[in-house]
Amino acid sequence: MGHNPRGLGLSAFVDIFSIWAFLDNSAQTLSEWLSTMEKSAKLGLGPLDTEYVHSMTLVYPVRFAGKVSAILSTDHIKMLKSYEEWRGISAGMLIGDGVRDQLLKEICQAVANHRQYCIDTIADSAVRAFAIQTRVDTHDFFSAMVNYIEGKLTTLGNISIPHKSILLLLSNQVVRMCEDIHAVRTLPIAASRYAWVTLRALECMKGFVTANFRDHPGINSAYLCFLTCSSAGKSGGDAGLKESVDSLSKEVTKVKKLLAETATKESLVKVDNKLENYIRANKPRT
């Protein structure tokens, strides 16, 4: 407050939820534009700040999941609907500009616009430098998340797991990430509170990146639940598979107890390795 006594730059501090407010919204439909203008008039803010404030109420970023407030474990989120759409494949050929490439372009545009917003709105100070750094951290998080998704698609695809199943697993994990981050983004009531909850969200995001995603307790929890449900739904009277599923269920109970007691990196790596070995030994039937 000492560096910015007038509270300028309402939208200066960003995370993976709010960064998308800085996109060029010229492609909005008329109804979307009118809705934004109506919200802006009610709040007495400009359209950008209105979108930023609205992002504080979201459970999932619209670019990830669409305009939904609840997602079932059996649902594919918007950005992971299909392998072809994610990677930009048409008629068996990689043509680029899929969902992955579109989102990477969008976040680059958003962080560039955010930097200019900070320069135009906030005086040269520690507050401006800190705000600009949040855009860097957000971009790094999203890039790391895309790399994680790509790695899982390649690794699990190489052991003949259907892309649809892999994307459902990844959807569950992205949903878990969003819910963990949302949990620390309590609804703010002033500009200083926006900055504070953003910093808390960035710290939560950093936890996923530091753990390389795959070693994070939340990701492993989603992985275990998905694997258990998928395997149990494909028993089809196969006694051998049923026995494996029963054994896995016992392992899941033990692992969940272990995760609750200590979420060390070493234990999580062992969990992930066990799951990889299980998948290789029991390739899910299509």
Domain check: are 232 and 191 in the same one?
no
Amino acid at 166: I
Residues with Cβ within 8 Å of 66's Cβ and at least 6 positions away in sequence, in order, are 77, 78
Domain check: are 201 and 219 in the same one?
no
| 274 domain-assigned | yes
Domain check: are 200 and 269 in the same one?
no
Position 277 scores a pLDDT of: 64
How many Å apart are CA 79 and CA 107, to the nearest integer? 14
Domain check: are 128 and 246 in the same one?
no
Position 271 scores a pLDDT of: 56
Domain check: are 47 and 125 in the same one?
yes
Domain check: are 100 and 150 in the same one?
yes
Domain check: are 204 and 226 in the same one?
no
Position 236 scores a pLDDT of: 47
| 43 domain-assigned | yes
Question: Three-state SS string across 114-151, please?
Answer: HHHHHHHHCCCCHHHHHHHHHHHHHHHHHHHHHHHHHH
- Overall number of domains in the chain: 2
| 7 domain-assigned | no
Per-residue pLDDT of the chain in tens (286 residues, 90 and over written 9): 666 666 678 899 999 999 999 986 644 566 665 666 666 556 556 668 888 888 888 899 999 999 888 898 889 999 999 999 998 887 777 777 899 999 999 999 999 999 999 999 998 888 899 999 999 999 999 999 999 999 999 998 898 889 999 999 999 999 999 999 998 886 655 556 788 889 889 999 999 999 999 889 889 888 887 777 665 555 444 444 455 455 555 655 665 565 555 555 555 566 566 656 655 665 554 3
Position 238 scores a pLDDT of: 46
Instruction: Let me know: does 259 contact 217? Beta carbons within 8 Å.
Output: yes
Domain check: are 198 and 262 in the same one?
no
Give, to the nearest 10 degrees, the angle between helix 126-157 and helix 99-121.
170
Domain check: are 151 and 235 in the same one?
no
Does the pTM surpass 0.85? The reply is no
Domain check: are 104 and 199 in the same one?
yes
| 72 domain-assigned | yes
Q: Which domain holds residue 249?
A: 214-286
Domain check: are 101 and 193 in the same one?
yes
Domain check: are 218 and 137 in the same one?
no
How many Å apart are CA 142 and CA 148, to the nearest integer? 10
| 170 domain-assigned | no
